[in-house]
A and B are shown apart, each in its own frame.
Chain A
Amino acid sequence: MTDVLNIGGQQLTSRLFLGTGKFSTNKIIPEVVAAAEAEVITVALRRVDTAFNEENIAACIPEKCVLLPNTSGARNAEEAIRIARLAQASGCGNWIKIEVIADNRYLLPDNFETIKATEVLAAEGFIVLPYMSPDLMTAKRLAAAGAAAVMPLGAPIGSNRGLRTKELVKILIEEISLPIIVDAGIGRPSEAAEAMEMGAAAVLVNTAVATAKDPIAMGRAFSMAVKAGRTAFLAGPGAIQEYASASSPLTGFLHD
Chain B
Amino acid sequence: MLLLVNGREVDVPEGVTVAMYVAQNGLTPDRIIVEHNAEIIKREIWDEVVLKPADKLEILTFVGGG
Contacts and interface: CB of A to CB of B under 8 A. Distances in A.
Interface of A: 19-23, 26, 29, 42-48, 50, 54, 56-59, 67, 69-70, 72, 85-87, 89-90, 92, 157-158, 183-184, 204, 206-207, 210
A26 B65 CA distance: 11
Interface string B12-38: 000000000000011110011101000
A88 B65 CA distance: 16
Contact of B64 (A43, A47, A50): A43
Interface in B25-66: 25-28, 31-33, 35, 40, 42, 58-66
A107 to B, nearest CB: 10
28 contacts: A20-B64, A21-B65, A22-B64, A26-B64, A42-B65, A42-B66, A44-B65, A45-B33, A47-B6, A47-B7, A47-B59, A47-B60, A48-B6, A48-B59, A56-B61, A56-B62, A57-B64, A67-B62, A70-B66, A72-B66, A85-B40, A86-B35, A86-B40, A86-B60, A87-B62, A157-B66, A158-B66, A204-B66
A21 B33 contact: no
A50 B60 CA distance: 11
B60 A48 contact: yes
Given A85-B40, A89-B33, A90-B33, A48 B27 contact: yes
Interface of B: 6-7, 25-28, 31-33, 35, 40, 42, 58-66
Nearest to A209: B66
Contacts, number: 91
B61 A46 contact: yes
Given A87-B62, A89-B42, 13 more contacts: A19-B66, A20-B65, A29-B64, A44-B63, A45-B33, A45-B61, A46-B60, A46-B63, A47-B58, A48-B6, A85-B40, A92-B62, A183-B66
Contacts of B42: 89
A58 B30 CA distance: 10
Contacts of A86: 33, 35, 40, 58, 60
Nearest to B59: A48
Contacts of A50: 25-27
A158 B64 CA distance: 14
